Amino acid sequence: MKASTFKYLHAQSKDEAYAAFAEYGDEAVILAGGQSLMPMLNMRLAQPAVLVDINPISELSGIVLLNQQLHIGATTRHVDVANADLIAAELPLIGCAIKQVAHRGIRNRGTFGGSLAHADPAAEMPACAVALDATFVLQSRAEERRVKAVDFFLGVMTTDRRPDEILTTIELPAQTSNDAWAFHELSRRHGDFALVGVAATARRRSEGLEELRLVVFGCEERPRISKIAASTSLSQKDALELATAVAEDLDPMSDLEGDAKTKRIQARTLIQRALDDLFVEGANG
């Protein structure tokens, strides 16, 4: 199938984009890398009146370290995140997980912010953003809002973003040597969307691990912090029991990739691997 007819705006500034939002309302749709949107247009799952291409707006792209926070511009390509020394040094969880996002050709065009705004429940970056306690900067003509990742994702491809807002920047606290992290994903082939995955962070203390932020993705409608895991001060001997409890607490969606029971079993295995990794300093390179 071919996309239905639409107007195309090559926005040179945020103001040009805001003008289109004002004129067309939610009939104006942002185009970033196009790796999710273009298939949706071609399948006519989306039929917007106008595509607002934000790629020319240079201020929306790039990676900088400011006050121990990584600021990633929304239109930074997946490939540039994957190749950035700053990411490898300061955000190793993202550095590891981004290599699992799609295949090379898609990573060359797809953007970090596009992946978050699209909010596919099986996508890696939303889960990592929640595990890392990221803050999303959303700008409209009238105001700037900062929304925690954990509050941004509302459901399957549904977010807190308003139709007149651009996701401009993603702020992520740099990881330190006291921060443990783990990432595991099960997919049919490397680069495919996850059947199930786990992203986790925790603080290392002499007594064990605290502040565990464990997120299962590809399973429920949105990435969320496991309350059961977060409420526990974790010791290694409890990991198996905790993995079972966290998996039991999930509400997996059955889909073409597997039924709820299968996903729960897959999730339990990955949760346990992630918990094991958290205890081993340097397990993740």
- Please give the residue ranges that form the binding site for ligand FAD (CB under 6 A): 29-37, 39, 74, 101-102, 106, 110-111, 113-115, 117-118, 123-125, 161, 166-167, 191-193
Measured from the CB atom, the residue of 192 and 211 that comes closer to ligand FAD is: 192
Q: What 3-state DSSP class applies to 61?
A: coil
Name residue, tokens 């399973």. 219
Measured from the CB atom, the residue of 123 and 242 that comes closer to ligand FAD is: 123
Q: Are 278 and 202 in contact (CB under 8 A)?
A: yes
Measured from the CB atom, the residue of 52 and 275 that comes closer to ligand FAD is: 52
Buried residues in 259-274 as b, exposed as e (16+ CB within 10 A): eeeebbebbbebbbbb
**DSSP string for 73-120:** ETT-BHHHHHH-HHHHHH-HHHHHHGGGSS-HHHHHH-BHHHHHHHT-
Residue 114 beta carbon to ligand FAD: minimum distance, rounded to whole angstroms? 2
Q: How far is CA 100 from CA 107, 124, 264, in A?
A: 10, 7, 21
The pairing of beta strand 153-155 with beta strand 158-159? antiparallel
Q: Are 166 and 74 in contact (CB under 8 A)?
A: yes
Measured from the CB atom, the residue of 168 and 232 that comes closer to ligand FAD is: 168
Residue 89 beta carbon to ligand FAD: minimum distance, rounded to whole angstroms? 23
Residue 53 beta carbon to ligand FAD: minimum distance, rounded to whole angstroms? 9
Q: Are 40 and 4 in contact (CB under 8 A)?
A: no
Measured from the CB atom, the residue of 90 and 124 that comes closer to ligand FAD is: 124
